[in-house]
Amino acid sequence: MYEPEEEAKEGEEKGSRGMDCCICSPMASKYRLPRNAICASCHEGAKAIIGFLVDKDDEHGEDGGCGSGGLRDAWEQVKEMSAREEETNARADFLQQGFGSAWKEGLHTDILVKPGTGPPIPAHRAILAARSEVFRHMLSGDERCKAPAAAGDSIALPELSHADLSLLLAFLYTGALEHQEEEEEEERRLHAVLVAADKYDVPPLRRACEARLAAGVGPRNALRTMEVAELSSSAALMARAMGAVVEHAEEVVFSDEYAEFASRNAGLCVEITRALLAARVPTTAWRAAEKESSTHRA
């Protein structure tokens, strides 16, 4: 495709508009002059693809690679990757459907998980133990575990509501984080589940919650998000929320919510003040100040 801002870096076409690229030109090859000029975009893309695939080969410790075979080898590798992806998807579907229906249909469940509110949810000890070290300790009645041990045929997660717990269990069985119908409700639920993912040590669930929440961070919910990020020790989400606070500083700082937030989170308010100043002081002055304070500390 023709890109006006992309021009060949060298060669006779330099500076001309509408380069006749032998890769991406829409002109059929039989009408084209027999030239092998390649546009900057195709050139960069080809190099990037080859570089990416060579790196991947290094990671897997395979020999060969497409360095010598050029794009033709790269294409072969892309086809292999695509086949592997299909296979992986099929395997994931197989696992997800089997475990998902074992839970949804309550097949041979052997434990009741009790939320703080609402009815208990039947589940499988083996799945809980396999997904979380903390559950494993609770279920084996380990005294060293901070969380309360499972009493008989039940285990209690009193900090979660029935719906929160259901979302968490669904993830443990299927690896998928279900969407909620209503946006506000989804946010509340994800906050609860993120804190639980931290407490019960389920890193994939934590990452899934963080990614979903980070996508919806704005001035409206930045402060709430910050509190949850702190509770769940989520640095990525904290950075995202801080970014939103700085970007919409007036809206956030002059809200009633901020006054309430400040009374609960003195430490976070210090962080916010610093971030706001850092964003306003011209960068060079700020860097100089930073540098000076770090040399003083050193």
Interacting residues with Zn ion (CB under 5 A)? 21, 23-24, 39, 42
Nearer to Zn ion, 11 or 106 (CB): 11
Q: How far apart are CA 45 and CA 186, in angstroms?
A: 39
Q: How far is the CB of 9 from Zn ion (least distance, A)?
A: 13
Torsion of CA 181, 186, 190, 193, to 10 degrees: -60
Q: How far is the CB of 267 from Zn ion (least distance, A)?
A: 54
Q: Which distant-in-sequence residues (6+ apart) come within 8 Å of 139 by Cβ?
A: 111, 125, 128, 129, 150, 155
Q: How far is the CB of 31 from Zn ion (least distance, A)?
A: 16
Nearer to Zn ion, 2 or 286 (CB): 2
Nearer to Zn ion, 20 or 227 (CB): 20
Q: How far is the CB of 22 from Zn ion (least distance, A)?
A: 7
Nearer to Zn ion, 40 or 279 (CB): 40
Q: How far is the CB of 79 from Zn ion (least distance, A)?
A: 22
Nearer to Zn ion, 3 or 80 (CB): 3
Bridge partners (DSSP) of residue 151 are 154
Nearer to Zn ion, 24 or 249 (CB): 24
Neighbouring CB atoms inside 10 A of 11's CB total 11
Q: How far is the CB of 38 from Zn ion (least distance, A)?
A: 6
